Structure 1
Amino acid sequence: MSAGYVEAGRKLIDALIGQDQAEARLLRHRFLAEYAEQVYAELTDNGREFLRVDELTAQAAELLPGLVPAKDELEQEYSLPQAEKKGLEADHGIFFGSLLRLAGPGAHLTEAMRRPTTRALSLLPGFRSTGQVDLGIVQVHRNGDVGEVTVANTSALNAEDDRLVAALEVAVDLVLLDDSVQVGVMRGGVMSHPRYAGRRVFSAGINLTALYQGEITFNGFFMARELGYINKIYRGLSTSGQSWAPTPIEKPWVAAVDSFAIGGGAQIALVFDRVIAEEGAYFTLPALREGIIPGLANLRLPRVAGGRIARQCIFADRRIDASSPDGQWFCDDVVRAENMDAAVVSAAERLADPAVPANRRVLHQHEEPAAVFRAYLADYAVEQSRRLVSPDLITTLERTWISRRAAKPA
């Protein structure tokens, strides 16, 4: 650590004492604008350590107390419902926004998040042996050369929270790591929710009940989701440093959309190589109505569908029916419910060609360059962290909570 950096860090710590929240954040922002690269080098031992987002912020809190929330502060914050939080995670937004704007730290961080999870590596021998792993709310099954990921958060219509995001990343890792798997498939399981009991559902988006109760975290959900399992589906697992021309471990993916893909479900449909939708299925992006940013849909949907339709979906919560002409922007094929299994198998067979990974890799490099991805995420980190404690979001969560409670039978 350079002498100038050490002195600046000490001055920051001293300057934060007694400051109100807004002024303290301005000081953090100014400090990181000048020293983020040195901070990251110190935290990662000059790039020799690959730390995930939660590990990075935990070590940053110890290196420079006050730069990001300390462990005990976060534990207190996580115990509160969303309406009572102090908004401490906005400092994580400033931190990651500063790092992702820099070419070196940004690229290193995204590479770190594309490495296999420790849990996946521990489960891999068993998966290779038996061809199945039960993660509770996600099941992984190898069927020939296809790795099937079944999302089974059945009582919540596959709504995502921290726990499901973590399980999905492990599942995606296993599919990518198993050499006998050539194609990944993601599909929702059969629901136990009263409204859809006995039916498959792809995704209901973010779990608003968990968000209302303060159980959705910035690192564990918003950052880990985009940098973790979704980016791994799109770009594969990182093999950086293992050869002169590192080739990521990547495979083509099929999404099978039954019933609906709401919010996060519609977002992830944009990264799959082929999307098969059931007749009657639909896609929506209600994040603005909910008060948040719809992941990377603001980056990807305009590229896929054009600016006008993207604005209608994002700003006006437009519903896109899979069977309608505009359904093509979210899905490739629409089939009757009884034909879904066969259509998914056919799509997987077509993508099992050995030349597909190389073609998709080149396509993705130019369709969404890594620098563009990081620049978007830098802005997203800042804006989403502020949205999480915005008054309108809190009002929306309260209204939704009251409505859902009133709708429950006595």
Structure 2
Amino acid sequence: MTTAPPLRGSTLDGWHALTEAVEQAERTLTPLPAPARRTAAQRAVADAAKNRARAERAGFLQRHADAVYDRLTDGRTREPRIDELVAAAATAYPGLVPTAELLERENSRPQADKEGHEIDQGIFLRAVLRSPVAGPHLLASMLRPTDRALALLPEFRRTGTVRMKAVRLERRDGVARLTLCRDDCLNAEDNQQVDDMETAVDLALLDPGVRVGLVRGGEMSHPRYRGRRIFSAGINLKNLSSGGISLVDFLLRRELGYVHKLVRGIRVEGPTAWHTPYAEKPWVAAVDGFAIGGGAQLLLVFDHVLAASDAYFSLPAAKEGIVPGVANFRLGRSTGPRLSRQIILEGRRVRASEPAARLLVDEVVEPEELDAAVERSLARLDGEAVLVNRHMLNLAEEPVDAFRAYMAEFAFQQALRLYGADVIGKVGRFAAGSS
């Protein structure tokens, strides 16, 4: 443990209690076998040590989150992204969150053999996002365009095309066409897909030649759906089981990054910033095949959603054991409380052909008519009045502070769920069955 940060008074007392609990947890865990091979008694000892450290961590942050955040951001004069923020916290406040080296070791292990250090990140980020001072600053930081997008922008403006591993982006007739192209895994989501999607959304929002955006799944090479378009199979459960789905780089970056940018737009600077600090555009989604899990979550932020009549939608949160992103916050607004509970808590699958689907999508057409219907929808949303009215609708339907409060609790609860015994067991069985 390195030297504690320059704190004073009760803050310093709280820091000493935290570091003592963290050091005790390290001494307890070091001689134990990997989590999956521990006896019941060893698990109880490990859990008690980790719980004590987490209680001290949560109490310290409840009292001092703003002071910590101000130090990490130089009094909110810098705007780190969420991954940069937790990395800075690991350096400035040793023991508050796991170091990059510790997480790298964790990420090389299956989910069942991890200690759950990401839970400590969840505790930290819940405190930051809860704060009416630090929280809005972090949300605004996450709405800045990424460095990757800024580097690719000249090429995209010149050629109108960017091809990435998970997403193909084309500008045609003022439309940014984002095609999900993980054809081998039915567009299942992982860290790579989140990075590529945020890059593509940024490029579409940055390019003045784009007036409307479209997201649609590409044709699959997967044996079961070869040659068919598929929207999304949701989170990649095999990656989750093997330890490749991260709290910060996937689950939180996804919601605070490109999904939130679809709603709010991106932060802009320059002579037009007095008018609005955000550049936003209307978005259309077209669903072929199915939108499962994260794919169904995405539909809740689009301005117009079309679906082929043979498509279906589901949020298998109960089956997977995790929280379905921001769907718990957004779905009831579209469907009402009864149907949202049936979908999220009971795993109800909604087919595009049934009446309830009209609460999730705007148009249902025969598969062979979907292309033409998409083009008509894009034309309807291409207008200046559409922009200002979507802005006002989103402001009324999803107030920023309400979204922030939800994300604060989501950061913590989803971190806990990633390491729940039921989740580890379910995704392990899924991975074994699909291999």
Question: What is the TM-score when the length of structure 2 is the normalising length?
Answer: 0.91
Residue from 389, 392, 404 that aligns with 2:434: 404
Residue from 100, 110, 118 that aligns with 2:129: 100
Preserved contact between residue 9 and residue 64 of structure 1 (Cα < 8 Å) = no
Cα displacement (A) at 1:245: 4.9
1:119 has 2:125 as partner: no
Aligned to 1:408: none
Preserved contact between residue 320 and residue 426 of structure 2 (Cα < 8 Å) = yes
1:16 has 2:45 as partner: no
Residues of 2 paired with 1:283 and 1:364: CA distance? 23
Cα displacement (A) at 1:305: 0.5
Q: Deviations over 1:332-374 (max 9, x none)?
A: 1111222211111111110011111111111111101000001
Preserved contact between residue 13 and residue 64 of structure 1 (Cα < 8 Å) = no
Cα displacement (A) at 1:322: 1.2
Long gaps (5+) in structure 2: 1-5, 26-48
Residues of 2 paired with 1:294 and 1:12: CA distance? 32
1:59 has 2:93 as partner: no
Aligned to 1:204: 233
TM alignment of 1:9-408, pairs within 5 A? 9-19=15-25, 20-239=49-268, 243-405=273-435
Residues of 1 paired with 2:292 and 2:17: CA distance? 47
Residues of 1 paired with 2:51 and 2:17: CA distance? 18
- Say if 1:40 and 1:116 are closer, same or farther in 2 by CA, change over 3 A: same
Residues of 1 paired with 2:187 and 2:151: CA distance? 25
Residues of 2 paired with 1:91 and 1:245: CA distance? 39
Aligned to 2:8: 3
Residues of 1 paired with 2:269 and 2:170: CA distance? 28
2:266 is paired with a residue of what secondary structure?
coil
1:141 is paired with a residue of what secondary structure?
strand
Residues of 1 paired with 2:368 and 2:204: CA distance? 26
Residues of 1 paired with 2:93 and 2:147: CA distance? 27
Q: Quick one: which amino acid aligns to residue 164 of structure 1?
A: Q
Preserved contact between residue 140 and residue 147 of structure 1 (Cα < 8 Å) = yes
Cα displacement (A) at 1:9: 3.5
Residues of 1 paired with 2:68 and 2:153: CA distance? 34
Preserved contact between residue 292 and residue 313 of structure 2 (Cα < 8 Å) = yes
Cα displacement (A) at 1:207: 0.3
Residues of 2 paired with 1:92 and 1:241: CA distance? 34
Preserved contact between residue 18 and residue 53 of structure 2 (Cα < 8 Å) = no
Moved more, 89-98 or 10-19: 10-19
Residues of 2 paired with 1:37 and 1:307: CA distance? 35
Q: Deviations over 1:53-77 (max 9, x none)?
A: 1100000000000000011110100
Cα displacement (A) at 1:10: 4.8
Long gaps (5+) in structure 1: 406-410
1:17 is paired with a residue of what secondary structure?
helix
Q: Deviations over 1:136-193 (max 9, x none)?
A: 2211000111000001011000000011011000000000000010000000010000
1:128 is paired with a residue of what secondary structure?
helix
Q: Deviations over 1:229-271 (max 9, x none)?
A: 1000011102379744533100000001000000001000000
Q: Percent identity?
A: 48
Preserved contact between residue 240 and residue 246 of structure 1 (Cα < 8 Å) = no
Aligned to 2:28: none
Q: Deviations over 1:19-47 (max 9, x none)?
A: 41000000000000011001111111111
Aligned positions, number: 405
Preserved contact between residue 21 and residue 52 of structure 2 (Cα < 8 Å) = no
Preserved contact between residue 90 and residue 99 of structure 2 (Cα < 8 Å) = yes
Preserved contact between residue 258 and residue 281 of structure 1 (Cα < 8 Å) = yes
Cα displacement (A) at 1:8: 4.3
Preserved contact between residue 17 and residue 56 of structure 2 (Cα < 8 Å) = no
Residues of 2 paired with 1:28 and 1:160: CA distance? 31
Q: Quick one: which amino acid aligns to residue 223 of structure 1?
A: L
